[in-house]
Amino acid sequence: MLIDSHCHLDFPDFEAERDDLVARAKEAGVAQMVTISTRVKKFNQVVEIAEKYENVFCSVGTHPGNADEELDIGTDDLVRLTEHPKVVAIGEAGLDYHYQPEKAEAQKTGLRRHIAAARQTGLPLVIHSRDADDDMAAILQQETGEGAFPFILHCFSSGADLAKTGVELGGYVSFSGILTFKKSDDLRAIAADVPMDRLLVETDAPYLAPTPYRGKRNEPSYVVNTARVLAEVKGVSEAEIADITTENAFRCFSKMTRV
Ligand SMILES: [Zn+2]
Ligand SMILES: [Zn+2]
């Protein structure tokens, strides 16, 4: 059994075949998944999907790419929306200097509000970080100093130092299909150093399909391929990595029930 800790089932790519896709995930051994919010203003669409499928849970938050459009969303709004039983995480929020460097200030403001919501609710913050290692490490260090909060460095593709800081501060590190790409030796070396009890796997579907589906549309059932490579990296069996990442997911997403 595996858990896809991060996918986007509300995206239009999946509209026509969401039932099939959830069924295929189950057949592939992906028992549960967390569909991730990218706009609080479209949260209804995400939560509807989580309500429809017993084994789908969700988050609430603003993706850094949309941070400048949701500066009117405060910590209290986020906290209130987590009252729904299927909401098991905050985010995804963070810093993306690769695609939206011009939105850095809005992203930082949004990130700190999401951190406050994670601290207040005890739900993990799903962090998106791209080309922003130094700022992200500084904010995590400073904010954790003001009060610990659970978090996940999702779709990890940053440098070894940020992974190390994340682990030291008590966070989880989630690996996507990028781990399976031929040129990802550096990332595999980082994964080798992450403690077993902090590892998660995800698809980030519809993006970043793992080998052998690279370039195609991704879906939750493909997380099996990322888990297989992670098992190789850690020198354990596929069954072991499945057990470990699943236990980690339930510990991290502490509000998520086993269905
Ligand atoms: Zn992301
Ligand atoms: Zn995402």
Rounded CA separation 142/157 (Å) = 22
Cα 76 to middle of ligand 2, angstroms: 23
Among candidate residues 75, 34, 58, the one with its CA nearest the CA of residue 205: 34
Is 2:34 a contact under the CB 8 Å cutoff? no
Is 69:46 a contact under the CB 8 Å cutoff? no
Average pLDDT over residues 233-238: 98
CB atoms within 10 A of CB 140: 25
This model's pTM is above 0.85: yes
Q: Which residues surround ligand 2, an ion (CB under 5 A)?
A: 36, 204
Structure confidence at residue 84 as a pLDDT band (50, 70, 90): very high
pLDDT, position 50: 98
Q: Which ligand is in closest contact with the Cα of 39? A: 2
pLDDT, position 98: 95
**pLDDT tens track for 6-21:** 999 999 989 999 999 9
Q: Which ligand is in closest contact with the Cα of 8? A: 2
Cα 195 to middle of ligand 1, angstroms: 22
Percent of the chain having pLDDT more than 90?
Answer: 99
Among candidate residues 142, 63, 71, 61, the one with its CA nearest the CA of residue 106: 71
Q: Which ligand is in closest contact with the Cα of 94? A: 1
pLDDT, position 232: 98
**pLDDT tens track for 147-200:** 999 999 999 999 999 999 999 999 999 999 999 999 999 999 999 999 999 999
Q: Which ligand is in closest contact with the Cα of 95? A: 1
pLDDT, position 223: 98
**pLDDT tens track for 128-147:** 999 999 999 999 999 999 99
Sheet holding 199-201, edge to edge: 2-7, 30-35, 56-60, 87-96, 125-130, 151-153, 172-175, 199-201
- The CATH class given to the 2-252 domain equals alpha beta
Rounded CA separation 234/248 (Å) = 15
